[in-house]
Structure 1
Amino acid sequence: MGWNRKVLRVNLSAGTCTPEQLNMAWANDYLGSRGLASKYLISEIDPKVDPLSPDNKMIMATGPLTGTMASTGGRYTVVTKGALTNAIACSNSGGFFGAEMKFAGWDMIIFEGKSPKPVYLYVENDKAELRDAGHLWGKTCWETEETIKRLHQDPLIRVSSIGGAGENQVMFACIVNDLHRAAGRSGVGAVMGSKNLKAVAIRGTKGVSGIKDFPAFLAATNAAKKVLADNAVTGQGLPKYGTQVLMNVINEMGALPTRNHRDVQFEEAGKISAEAMHEKRPSDGKAQLVTNAACFGCTIACGRISKIDETHFSVKNSPKYWGASGGLEYEAAWALGAANGVGDLEALQYANLLCNEHGMDPISFGATVGAAMEMYETGILSKEQIGLDAPFGSAEALCQLVEMTAHGKGFGKELGLGSARLCAKYGHPELSMSVKGQEFPAYDSRGIQGMGLAYATSNRGACHLRGYTVASEVLGIPVKTDPLTTDGKPELVKAFQDATGIFDSAGICVFTSFAWTLADVQPQLQAACEGDWSMDKLNLVGERIWNMERQFNLAAGLSAKDDDLPPRLKTEPAKTGPAKGLVNGLDKMKPEYYKVRGWDSAGVPEQATLQRLGL
């Protein structure tokens, strides 16, 4: 049946852990993970709640394919009202934690209230209890995981935790599991920290049972794995180069945001690319990249395991960072690198390690540094205010600023606000490259027009994983569209957004969508889950999830004016590359998108749309 039919409700204020039945009517309407957890959240909190108050709730959720033999079936999501955005937040993570939750017999864990003192949740199959975390508070994500495994004398426990960033409510704090996988965006770690919840540790030995039609499921998953293996992106590009395969590609297209989006091409992109990670260093004759790695059940294995240059200035006196650990992915390499004009690959890996260790989203952190560097270069911020010289291109400044932010010291506290709050504080909100308070990922929407619309309309703030039109506009998947035109982009963005809702809610990785369409996912869901999971139904469920999230945001106080891009992207033309002379055509695309969505001119879903979707 795909679901365990069990929810664990943890009341942190009262210190109780109570099992309850999963609402199967909702599961039938919202599938699981992102969709189902969002339905629970929206039904249980006031949309206007302060994200950091005890009245906000935080939900960890699996999908019906999580923990199964479906390729990439290791995903789980964290759903809450986002600290960074004040909008609905759904942050997705891989690794092994999600599958372990499923193996322990739980579809979802709902956290409510606030513990009077630091605690962690320990789950062993049906047993669940809150334990004192006083000895863990102040520890990094890495130390927390190690300590919990040692305490329970079980190296197979899976741990999801916050570091100092979450404890101190850094607005872009994330939740880290398996040392370097993260529910990364929208400040979910800050919400967890506000509840005095340090970690969740799970050990599950039940496995997954109740697949509706096992022979059909086996056939469907095997066929789908073959599609991944035979595809150039999922079978060759991602395993060899990881997401970093995009660095040189996007740079050549003139869509690599550089120096806080002042430029669209980075002259040192080659130095921080996937290819550079493979090159042997003069210092030790070794490449930064050690190997690739896979999350639970994944046949793609796009993860990077890297080893930093021990002679690099950032770590030469810090042996603890000399071992192999989670390596750079494209978004992090861009945010820590091109966004700040930094072309030092080892400095980027160091900053990335600290983000993993202390629980910070490297995208928002790096982009916030980019805004601060621009304010420094234009005289808005002085050396005295920052505590150091911070010009674009300074690897030394990047490394010092990541340390300051991780430890909440000096100007690091200001950076911890995120770029929207930081730039507003110093009187220049236009210098924050963000939507709904969340910083852009690694695609400039002057060179990839559809991404501008996807960013502006994303329910969780600027995001590449809510409507990845790069697949179509750059890679030609499933059809090639022209990245430099706005024509047809409203329909394209809607299609990607709705389909992504299904991938996320099923409990599989969105990277499979480089090779799979919904037609590859449908037979897997049909065989795993009871009920009808036809293509028509899946399309409807994806659209329903998107509109439900939209309704929450409208009730939270967001409006059409929040579906916008910073002035720079609409008024300052790209200076180089294929998009030279272009700005983003959001103002043309947005009204068309609202129409395609069945929303009125104010971006509010029409009554007929809500009725059709059963909302």
Structure 2
Amino acid sequence: MSWAGKILRVNLSAGTVTSEPLNMTWAKQYLGSRGLATKYLVEEMDAKTDPLSADNKIIWATGPLTGTMASTGGRYTVVTKGPLTGAIACSNSGGYWGAELKMAGWDMVIFEGKSPKPVYLSIQDDHAELKDASHLWGKSVWETEEILKKAAQDPQVRVSSIGLAGENQVLYAAVVNDLHRAAGRSGVGAVMGSKNLKAIAVRGTKGVGNIANPKEFMKVTFEKKKILADNAVTGQGLPTYGTQVLMNVINEIGALPTRNHRDSQFEGAKDISAEAMATPRESDGKKQLVTNQACFGCTIACGRISKIDPTHFSVVNKPQYWGATGGLEYEAAWALGAANGVNDLEALQYANTICNEQGMDPITFGATIGAVMELYEMGVITKDMLGLDAPFGSAKALCELADMTANGVGFGKEIAQGSKRLTAKYGHPDLSMSVKGQEFPAYDGRGIQGMGLAYATSNRGACHLRGYTVASEVLGIPVKTDPLVSEGKPELVMAFQDATAAFDSAGICIFTSFAWGLADVQPQVAAACGDEFTLENLSLIGERIWNMERDFNNRAGFTAADDNLPKRLMNEAVKTGPAKGLVSKLPEMLPKYYEIRGWDAGGNLKAETRAKLGL
């Protein structure tokens, strides 16, 4: 069985670090990573806990396939109660950190309490201890990683840390590892900062043992890697263009939210697309895109490494940003670009670099800037308040506000609260394009109807990674459905949500689902963990995890009223493109979704649903 079988429990208040056996009954019911860590959290913590109090817990967790030879087996999750939303927060990251923790012999690390002073956790295989981090406080993610590797005299040490955004309690601060891979959403980095926890530095030399059927595992993972290699998306599109391949595609179908969702097509989309990243610049003849990059064990390699134009206004006197670093993903390029009407590719790369360096979710940051720019154009927020002009389309404002927010200065402190709190403070709450306080990603729920339902019902607030129906509605994977109709979407959304929970909990990347179904994951899990992981069992695990998360949120105070979309998507019709004239058909879809979920009209789990899932 490919779990390590051990967890670390760290009491930050007492300064203690103890080892305990993994609850294997729970492991078999919730698999690992997202599912298993959430099970620990909901069992150990009151759902009404203040996310930034010492009573909140925060958990780093791997899955049973993390660190193995399964393709993309490098994922880990950070699970806590999120300060941005007040809902369950589970953020997933790639890179190398997750595999390193597993190879050190640990399935997860649970942090409790609050340290009286800044600390970091050092893990070297079986040995783990809290160390003083006073010298790291105030440092960026990049500086922290460099200092900790030097301190360990080992370049192979992997670091998961926060920058200034986490320290300053930016409500959407991220946890960053390997310089530019992030557990990005819902403010997990702010919880880390609230506990005076700066970083976890881990070195593992044990490898991953305990595979239930090693020969079968080697055979089946090889077969499944071939499926990824032969697939048009995972074998060609993502390696060549990364997620940014979607920019022009989504714009053409009229579902690219633009200028805070006032429009759904962006005239500047081509300027900030994957193709633009790969085209030589006029200024110096060089491309922004340097190469692609893979996370641990990944055969897809969708990551981007980019170089900013050194003559661009954002970096002209900042040589520290001239080197190659993490490049734009589609979600970040959209949020920093189209959401604000900005078509300056170099400005987007600069703002994204600041988000990486200081640990900040570019989706919520960019979407919040969209609200700021709309309020600015309405005259509600003024130049005197901001210290600069900020109309839609201002690349200069985008870059300066990124600096201000990451560093916690001036109006940046307001932006750090996210769009829900900011728009409410200035009297226009309807201008926050969010669900449960978390901002939308890069798809308009009017032009892609299933995504509207997925946003409204997502357990962690608006999210594309909790049920990516774009795969079916736009790309035709695994079957093509019409993005403009509501029929069949409740069933589609539920199927994607449950399957995604299983993928996440196994410890693999959700991008494999462009080529794999659960039927491809199941034999890998069974060979690694044991024959009881049938396809039926894996499907049930996904559904169990989804309902457990929902139940936590209900106990935290969320109701059916929170499964909603902003008035703009419900009342203002799309102006251009194939979805012209449409609003979200959420009212048609939601009752049917509740019904097939086995929830009552208030969005609560029925007794028979609890019984079926063992909740």
What is aligned with 1:356? 356
**Distance between the aligned counterparts of 2:27 and 2:425, measured in 1?**
43
Distance apart, 1:360 and its partner CA? 0.2
- How far the C-alpha of 1:282 sits from its partner, in A, is 1.2
Which residue pairs with 1:459 in the alignment? 459
2:405 maps to which residue? 405
Matched, 1:468 2:468: yes
Give the deviation of 1:152 after TM superposition.
Answer: 1.3
Q: Deviations over 1:478-528 (max 9, x none)?
A: 000000000000000000000000000000000000000001000000000
What is the aligned partner in structure 1 of residue 2 from structure 2? 2
Give the distance between the partners of 1:604 and 1:448, measured in 2 at CA. Answer: 27
Amino acid at match of 2:6: K
1:538-577 aligned within 5 A: 538-577=538-577
Segment of structure 1 superposing worse, 390-399 or 378-387: 378-387
1:120-139 correspondence to structure 2 within 5 Å: 120-139=120-139
What is the letter of the counterpart of residue 199 of structure 2?
Answer: A
| Alignment correspondent of 1:157 | 157
Tell me whether 1:533 sits opposite 2:533 in the alignment.
Answer: yes
Aligned counterparts, 1:415-434, within 5 A:
415-434=415-434
Tell me how far 1:128 sits from its aligned partner. Answer: 0.3
Name the counterpart of 2:197.
Answer: 197
- Alignment coverage as a number of residue pairs: 615
Which residue number corresponds to residue 105 of structure 2?
105
- Comparing 380-389 with 359-368, greater Cα deviation is found at 380-389
Task: In structure 2, list runs of 5 or more residues that go unmatched.
Answer: none
Partner Cα distance (1:596, 1:262) in 2: 33
SS at the partner of 2:328? coil
Q: How does 1:43-442 map to 2 (within 5 A)?
A: 43-442=43-442
Matching residue's letter, 1:338: A
Partners in 1 of 2:123 and 2:151 — Cα distance? 14
Structure 1 partner of 2:497: 497
Shift of 1:336: 0.2
Distance (Å, rounded) in 1 between the aligned partners of 2:487 and 2:7: 45
Give the CA RMSD over aligned residues: 0.4
Output the amino acid matched with 1:524: Q
SS in 2 for 1:360: coil
CA distance in 2, matches of 1:560, 1:480: 30
Displacement of 1:531 in angstroms is: 4.7
Distance 2:603 2:57 in 1: 27
Q: Which amino acid aligns with 2:413?
A: K
The answer to whether 1:16 aligns with 2:16 is yes
Question: Quick one: distance in 1 between partners of 2:316 and 2:220?
Answer: 50
Q: Which digits, 9 at most, give the CA deviation of each residue in 1:358-413, with x for residues without a partner?
A: 00000000000000000000111111111111000000000000010011010000
1:583 is aligned to 2:597: no
Aligned-partner residue type, residue 207 of structure 2? G
Task: Give the TM-score normalised by structure 1.
Answer: 1.00
Residue type at the aligned position of 2:16: T
Provide the C-alpha distance between the structure 2 equivalents of 1:427 and 1:403, rounded to a whole number of angstroms: 26
Return the letter of the residue paired with 1:200: I
- Once the 2 structures are TM-superposed, how far is the Cα of residue 283 of structure 1 from its aligned partner? 1.3
Q: Distance in 2 between matches of 1:595 and 1:399?
A: 46
C-alpha distance in 2 between matches for 1:398 and 1:4: 45
Q: 1:439-454, aligned counterparts within 5 Å? A: 439-454=439-454
1:519 alignment counterpart: 519
CA distance in 2, matches of 1:3, 1:457: 31
- Structure 1 Cα separation of the partners of residues 184 and 195 of structure 2: 18
Q: Hey, what's the Cα distance between the residues in 2 that align with 1:59 and 1:463?
A: 20
Paired with 2:596 and 2:387, the residues of 1 have a C-alpha distance of 50
Amino acid at match of 1:508: I
The C-alpha deviation readout for 1:300-324, integer Å capped at 9, x for no partner, is: 0000000000000000100000000
Alpha-carbon deviation of 1:202? 0.1
**Distance in 2, Cα, partners of 1:422 & 1:587:** 27
Matches of 1:45 and 1:301, distance apart in 2:
38
Counterpart Cα distance in 2 of 1:289 and 1:327: 7
Q: Structure 2 CA distance, aligned partners of 1:335 and 1:239?
A: 22
SS in 2 for 1:128: strand
Counterpart amino acid of residue 422 in structure 2: L
Secondary structure of the equivalent of 1:569? Answer: helix
Displacement after TM superposition at 1:530 (Å)? 2.7
For residues 429 and 193 of structure 1, the distance between their equivalents in structure 2, rounded to whole angstroms, comes to 28
In 1, Cα distance between the equivalents of 2:520 and 2:223? 8
Distance in 2 between residues matched to 1:220 and 1:363, nearest whole Å: 36
Distance (Å, rounded) in 1 between the aligned partners of 2:43 and 2:496? 26
What amino acid is aligned across from residue 89 of structure 1 in structure 2? A
SS of match in other structure, 1:68? coil
Cα distance in 1 for residues equivalent to 2:7 and 2:101: 11
The aligned counterpart of 1:606 is: 606
Partner letter of residue 516 of structure 1?
W
Q: Tell me the distance in 1 between the aligned counterparts of 2:196 and 2:415.
A: 22
SS of residue matched to 1:242: helix
Secondary structure of the residue aligned to 1:262 is coil
In the alignment, the residues of structure 1 paired with residue 470 and residue 282 of structure 2 have an alpha-carbon distance, to the nearest angstrom, of 35
Query: Partners of 1:480 and 1:18 in 2: how far apart?
Result: 50
Residue by residue, what CA displacement relative to the aligned partner does 1:323-366 show, whole Å, maximum 9, x if unpaired?
00000000000000000000000000000000000000000000
Instruction: Specify the code of the residue in structure 2 equivalent to 1:313.
Output: F
- Work out the percentage of aligned pairs sharing the same amino acid: 74
Measure, in 2, the Cα distance between the counterparts of 1:269 and 1:412: 27
Counterpart of 1:354, as a letter, is I
**Alpha-carbon distance in 2 for matches of 1:486, 1:605:** 24
3-state SS, counterpart of residue 78 of structure 2: strand
Q: Partners in 1 of 2:44 and 2:606 — Cα distance? A: 24
Secondary structure (helix, strand or coil) at the match of 2:354 reads helix
The CA distance in 1 between the partners of 2:570 and 2:563, in whole Å, is 13
C-alpha distance in 1, partners of 2:154/2:162? 20
